[in-house]
Amino acid sequence: MAAVPSSLLGPVRDQFLALLPVREDRHPLGCHNPRIADAVVFDRLVQVLVVFGCGYERVADEHCSATTLRRRRDEWIALGVMEHLRLLVLTAYDRMIGLELDHLVADGCIVKAPSGGECAGKSPVDRAKQGMKRSQLTEAQGIPLVTEPAPANIRDHTLLPPTLNRYASLEKDLGPPPMRPRLSLDAGYDYRVVHDGLADKNIDARIVPRGAKVPIQTGGRWVVERTNSWMNNFGRLRRCTERRRAIVDFFLAVASVIITMRCLIRRAWTRYRWDTRPRTPRIR
């Protein structure tokens, strides 16, 4: 069973393989075991992220072992190709559809992290069990711009500065940001240090006051909740068992690529025509 539709997985896989450097076979005799194709390993890692969300042994077989999956994953992390692919997909969406960067939304989301690790801490919503928090920043339509992982016991407002710093680094790929963007936040960010920090960055803060009962539709904050739900559809992110920060960032980048490509195909379906255009914009 395919983890994602071929109309979505195919373009992502092709672009990912194009970013990989050419590998030279330096074995002196040329008699070692043949290298598993990168396309096969990529598809298995997508299955690990989307379908199973558990150990690599669940998708390993006689054609591709769990050790090969881990080694190739670490090789791609060292090369940084997945983050490069994420930026390429964001740039393609911006050129074809247009990112609405004048309105940003941010929020945190806590998930389980039973194995502990660098991004795990005592969860305040799960009886102090190990959990991970994702600080999610999106544009007005919910396209994920930055996903910052951290232990679950870190407050949302303390994760906002590193999240905005990573967003500022996107300027070289997406171009200059709007002069004074609007940032919608919930009551968890209603602190003086947040107001002052956003004012220094020339950001128009729209923060729900603490203690006030305001619908989630106010200020367009529902789009980041929808993006968090999209992220939680990936089993590897809903119950994170990775211990190293680099691996967590790798799978977060893969999930962001899939989400952005799905939104790109859906919105481009009525604007453009191409040979592999799916029959319907409803891509699961």
The set of residues, in sequence order, having a beta carbon less than 8 Å from that of 15 and lying 6+ positions away, is 85, 88, 89
Evaluate the CA torsion angle 191, 195, 200, 205 in order and state its sign: positive
Segment 37-55 shows an average pLDDT of: 86
Q: Which of 227, 234, 179 lies closest to 203, judged by CA?
A: 179
* 68-90: pLDDT as tens digits: 999 999 999 999 999 999 999 99
Q: How far apart are CA 116 and CA 96, in angstroms?
A: 40
Instruction: Read off the pLDDT of each residue in 176-185 and give the average, rounded to a whole number.
Output: 92
Q: What is the mean pLDDT of the chain?
A: 91
String of DSSP letters for 126-148: TTT-EEEEEEEEE-TT--EEEEE
Q: Which domains does the chain have, with CATH numbers?
A: 100-241 (3.30.420.10)
Instruction: Decide if pLDDT at 213 tops 90.
Output: no
253: its two tokens: 């980048």
Classify 40 as helix, strand or coil.
helix
28, 35, 30, 119: which is closest to 75 by C-alpha? Answer: 35
Confidence (pTM):
0.93
Q: Give pLDDT tens digits for 91-101.
A: 999 999 999 99
